[in-house]
Structure 1
């Protein structure tokens, strides 16, 4: 049993204005505005959000294990590696906090600049730093370090891939909305 067209249209308008549109204004009836109103797809990436969530809970364990391992091997390291590893630990901690914040804000609020900043920090800073710690044998890599570095590098790699896809989709959607609003 189908609803009459007039009743279905009124229910759609009611649900759109009362349930989904928090401003309380009625959507306009022009063709372009109607398309923009109906095109409220969720663009945030579930895969990226899940990876960010688990990374947020894993990072303190990575930091604790990295700090303990650095403390244990510190006397055996040359002076220049002592300086480098302490600097890398401080940089990675700051970058990871900023990166996770930008990832959450960019993905959940569907903001392109924040998501782009997250993606750039992941690719240009965090991934090379974790690869340095993972593959440089001169820093006396311990088995626990290798394990947590592998897990963190997998988080960063998957977030970079899913972040790129989410960023591409958000940019395309924003571009389409911009072109549609030019005709008003």
Structure 2
């Protein structure tokens, strides 16, 4: 199941973030120093880190405000807001976890999943909470929604560029590894041929 999910996320990443021509052309590769290059996106990592601390405050504020205005809301909006809060909270935990892990460990599938959750789910939901006047927004609620929306927007933008850089880097590293293996095979064949000639 996990392997299938990783393959799916990898194929989606290949479509959304095509590799550059430099990454495809072996002659234009620059030498990568193994162990010294990091493609982790620092602004994205900082945003996720601070978002992890802000999310509990956002959730607490939302619960308190929802309790205060509960009796003034219509039945429809009680159900809608409650569903949005539950879905948003669950997705936020998953999103921040895979984003933190994917960016820090340089894993493209996890980072792509983080980016898709950010753009397709969290951003529309936070905009719905922020601009829906019929939800009777209070000042505290509007303030925390604005901050959360800025976090989500910033992470979406940074995540896109982080995935592009990471995909290009890994494609380049893959091609260089192929050339290294080819050179090693050629060297082995050279020594084997020399040994045969000396023995004969």
* TM bin (shorter chain): 0.7 to 0.9
Please tell me the root mean square deviation across aligned C-alpha atoms, in Å.
1.2
The counterpart of 2:146, out of the listed 143, 146, 150, is: 150
Give the gaps of 5 or more residues in structure 2: 1-30, 182-200
For residues 64 and 125 of structure 2, the distance between their equivalents in structure 1, rounded to whole angstroms, comes to: 18
Paired residue total: 150
Deviation at 1:39, TM superposition (A): 7.0
The counterpart of 1:174, out of the listed 152, 155, 170, is: 170
For residues 54 and 32 of structure 2, the distance between their equivalents in structure 1, rounded to whole angstroms, comes to: 39
The equivalences for 1:23-62 within 5 A come to 35-38=31-34, 40-62=36-58
Q: Which of 1 and 2 has higher RCO (CA within 8 Å, sep 6+)?
A: 2
Q: Deviations over 1:119-167 (max 9, x none)?
A: 0000000000000000000110111010000000000111111111111
For residues 175 and 134 of structure 2, the distance between their equivalents in structure 1, rounded to whole angstroms, comes to: 54
Question: What secondary structure, in the 3-state scheme, does the structure 2 residue paired with 1:48 have?
Answer: helix
The counterpart of 2:100, out of the listed 97, 101, 104, is: 104
Distance change >3 Å, CA 152–CA 134, structure 1 → 2: same
In the other structure, the counterpart of 2:59 is 63
For residues 137 and 79 of structure 1, the distance between their equivalents in structure 2, rounded to whole angstroms, comes to: 16
Q: Deviations over 1:20-63 (max 9, x none)?
A: xxxxxxxxxxxxxxx45447411101101111111111110100
Give the gaps of 5 or more residues in structure 1: 1-34
For residues 77 and 61 of structure 1, the distance between their equivalents in structure 2, rounded to whole angstroms, comes to: 23
